Chains A and B, each alone.
Chain A
Amino acid sequence: EAGVTQFPSHSVIEKGQTVTLRCDPISGHDNLYWYRRVMGKEIKFLLHFVKESKQDESGMPNNRFLAERTGGTYSTLKVQPAELEDSGVYFCASSRTSSYNEQFFGPGTRLTVL
């Protein structure tokens, strides 16, 4: 079974540019989560999709971040315009059901904003 995949693995952009991160969850997993780890800090929750619906987006830092999951399969996380403090590692995770099933993490996208 293929795991959670994320693209790109690394992205280096300049402040003010736009970046879109993609996550493909494990096939059949309805739940998809985005997390991020900024330098020196712990991994923090951003949001949770159940299929195509946003279940909880309380962790989204501001309106420069937009997450979508059209069709309930893969998800994208767009940062527009990117700021220096957005640099970090963005992890995606998926799980089969909401009531706790293990969340499987993707390898992450390392974003550097210059």
Chain B
Amino acid sequence: RKEVEQDPGPFNVPEGATVAFNCTYSNSASQSFFWYRQDCRKEPKLLMSVYSSGNEDGRFTAQLNRASQYISLLIRDSKLSDSATYLCVVLAGNMLTFGGGTRLMVKP
């Protein structure tokens, strides 16, 4: 079983749609949680941290459920520029553990 599981997609959505990604993690000792974005053949870049209280950054909302070891990302009003792979990432110690990523394609 992978330490961080994500649906690989792709999720094909029209512009303006709302799309949600989920991920589960297995290490209950994980202390921090993130969503990274990776464009094709580029490096991962931090999109946002994820907190139990939920956090929002513009059109993006992230949520953590520690009891269920479940992390979510909601993107509202999708833009063409949101097309990318979204990586669910968990920190335990100083080591980041990555999910395989969920690919999003936003179409006109």
Contacts and interface: CB of A to CB of B under 8 A. Distances in A.
Interface residues of A, number: 23
Given A91-B44, A105-B43, A42 B95 contact: no
Interface stretch (B10-18, B69-77, B97-105): B97-105
Contacts of A41: 100
A64 interface: no
Contacts of B94: 31, 33, 48, 55-56, 98
Nearest to A6: B43
Given A45-B97, A56-B93, A100-B91, A107 B4 contact: no
A56 B100 contact: no
A108 interface: yes
Instruction: Tell me the dominant secondary structure on chain B's binding face.
Output: strand
A43 B98 contact: yes
Interface of B: 2, 4, 31-32, 42-46, 87, 91, 93-101
A105 B44 contact: yes
A43 B44 contact: yes
Contacts, number: 44
Contacts of A33: 94, 96
A14 interface: no
Contacts of A42: 2, 4, 98-101
B33 to A, nearest CB: 10
A9 to B, nearest CB: 10
B23 to A, nearest CB: 11
A45 B43 contact: no
Interface in A62-114: 91, 93, 98, 100, 102-103, 105-108
A19 B27 CA distance: 34
Contacts of A44: 98
B52 to A, nearest CB: 16
A33 B43 CA distance: 14
A107 B31 CA distance: 26
9 contacts: A42-B98, A42-B99, A43-B98, A44-B98, A48-B94, A91-B43, A100-B32, A103-B46, A105-B45
